[in-house]
Amino acid sequence: MKHIGLLIPSSNIVAERELYTRLIKDEIPDVAFHFARLKFRTPYGINEEKYTQELVNSIPETLKELERINVQKTAVLCTSAEIYVQHNNTLMFPLSSVVSYFKSLNRSHPIVITPYNTNIGDKIIHKLKSEKINVVKEIHLNIKTKEELMNFSNLKLIDLIVNQLDKNIDSICVLCTNFETYHIENQLETTFQIPFISSNKAIYYDLIK
């Protein structure tokens, strides 16, 4: 049995369900996910940067919850956390997994959609571009609350992509482990005939390989 430790923000209601759904669908019986919750004091919508930094600061304490489990890999399920973390070779992060996923597909000209504010969004885009992912278009929705994110419907996302796609875009990328896209990714790829990449999709395949 392969044991994988996952540090997830206590406000995240999507990633745990989505990763287990993928695991069940792929019929992988010898992998077990073990979740531990990252803590924060500042609500995301009050100060996104402080919220993210507090999550990062809670990593050492949260790791202690997994000490009695012989985990083979450990990941932090927060896409923006990586830009606030000092270099760390022992933890996996969705953003690095997204970069790896792009490279595995030989795609490098995406439209990138995030729920973040411009400050965090710009840092994420800078990271992608530093890895030679030449972002053609970027959209940062500046969503402030979990309710706003949950109410950002599939139709809104599809309409947004339809209105922004052009011939220079070779992939669609939606970032944030709390952004629910699993149930429409096949529809997006079929409709637009280009690969769809998300934080949860990328980290999942990185974890199970």
* Number of continuous H segments (helices) and E segments (strands) in the chain: 9, 7
Q: What is the fold, at CATH topology level, of the domain defined by 95-198?
A: Rossmann fold (3.40.50)
Mean pLDDT of 193-200: 97
Q: 58 pLDDT exceeds 80?
A: yes
Residue 165 CA to residue 6 CA, distance in Å, equals 34
Q: Check residue 49 and give its pLDDT.
A: 95
Q: Check residue 146 and give its pLDDT.
A: 78
Q: 9 pLDDT exceeds 90?
A: yes
User: Over the stretch 133-157, which tens digit does the pLDDT of each residue have?
Assistant: 999 999 999 999 878 888 888 889 9
Q: Check residue 20 and give its pLDDT.
A: 94
Q: What is the CA radius of gyration of the chain?
A: 16
Q: Structural domain boundaries of the chain? A: 2-94, 95-198
How much is the mean pLDDT over the chain?
94
- Taking domain 2-94, whether its CATH number is 3.90.1640.10 is answered by no
Q: Check residue 208 and give its pLDDT.
A: 94
Mean pLDDT of 72-80: 97
Q: How confident is the model at residue 39 (pLDDT cuts 50, 70, 90)?
A: very high
pLDDT above 70 covers a percentage of the chain that reads 100
Closest by Cα among 112, 113, 108 to 132: 108
Mean pLDDT of 29-46: 95
User: Over the stretch 162-182, which tens digit does the pLDDT of each residue have?
Assistant: 999 999 999 999 999 999 999
Q: Check residue 89 and give its pLDDT.
A: 80
Where b means 16+ CB within 10 Å and e means fewer, 121-143 reads bebbbebbeeeebebbebebbeb
- For residue 87, what is the DSSP state? P
pTM: 0.95
User: Over the stretch 79-132, which tens digit does the pLDDT of each residue have?
Assistant: 999 999 987 789 999 999 999 999 999 999 999 999 999 999 999 999 999 999
